[in-house]
Structure 1
């Protein structure tokens, strides 16, 4: 490697920081963080999931999920209810306000996606495909060293 600017780790982190900065700025005016938005989005897709399910879907540990759910609950966007089948498990449900905020928050993130797509022009579909592939990359996989 000639310099840091050709290192995939550095470049992917730099790109992630740029997108995270843009996400934070856009969502801050709506009172949520990008990760809170991600939790809400997963609940909009399927309401009534456990914290463990949310953590698995978003690749987050239980402490992170618990903290985010605490904040979303204080914002009045979600509620926790004991699972009727297993009272040791809390299921997370959107409140009426949490459901009501879906269109506005998705529009914010759709706007960011559109802005990135415009920046890349006709290469945007390739970018999305490569990001999906990178997100599932497992080091050593090619050589069977997983």
Structure 2
């Protein structure tokens, strides 16, 4: 490869950095990070999931997932309850505050999506399909 700027890994990394930076800006008003937003999204779909279920869905290792959960709990967005049959397992529940943030956080991320769609114009549908293909092939 002649230049690093032609490397797919470099290009995807730079794109990811730009999108993540903008997501952080948009979510900062609510003191939520992009990974916390992703965890909340999964809980908005189905409350009372375990950390393992959340981590599997988000493809996050257990140590990282524990940190995300700890921060969400400290922020008052979720609460943990031990499983009655196995006290090593905790189920995660949204608090009222966690549920109330759905609309404003979704709105922030919809704004980010709209910005990317505007940037890409008519190339957006194809780009979206290609991202899914690259992200799910294996």
Same fold (TM over 0.5): yes
Aligned counterpart, 1:112 = 112
Rounded to whole Å, the distance in 2 between the matches of 1:129 and 1:119 is 16
Aligned counterpart, 1:124 = 124
Once the 2 structures are TM-superposed, how far is the Cα of residue 2 of structure 1 from its aligned partner?
2.3
Unaligned 5+ residue runs, structure 2? none
Rounded to whole Å, the distance in 2 between the matches of 1:133 and 1:83 is 37
Q: Given the two structures, how large is their TM-score scaled by the length of structure 2?
A: 0.95
Q: Given the two structures, how large is their TM-score scaled by the length of structure 1?
A: 0.90
Residue 7 (structure 1) aligned with residue 7 (structure 2): yes
Rounded to whole Å, the distance in 2 between the matches of 1:46 and 1:85 is 20
1:69-124 deviation digits (Å, cap 9, x = unpaired) = 11111111000011234332101110011001100000000110011011111111
The RMSD of aligned alpha carbons is 1.0
Residue 28 (structure 1) aligned with residue 35 (structure 2): no
Rounded to whole Å, the distance in 2 between the matches of 1:114 and 1:120 is 10
Unaligned 5+ residue runs, structure 1? 139-146
Rounded to whole Å, the distance in 1 between the matches of 2:85 and 2:118 is 47
Aligned counterpart, 1:72 = 72
Moved over 6 A (4+): none
Once the 2 structures are TM-superposed, how far is the Cα of residue 137 of structure 1 from its aligned partner?
3.0
Residue 99 (structure 1) aligned with residue 96 (structure 2): no
Rounded to whole Å, the distance in 1 between the matches of 2:25 and 2:100 is 21
> When the two structures are aligned, how many residues end up with a matched partner?
138
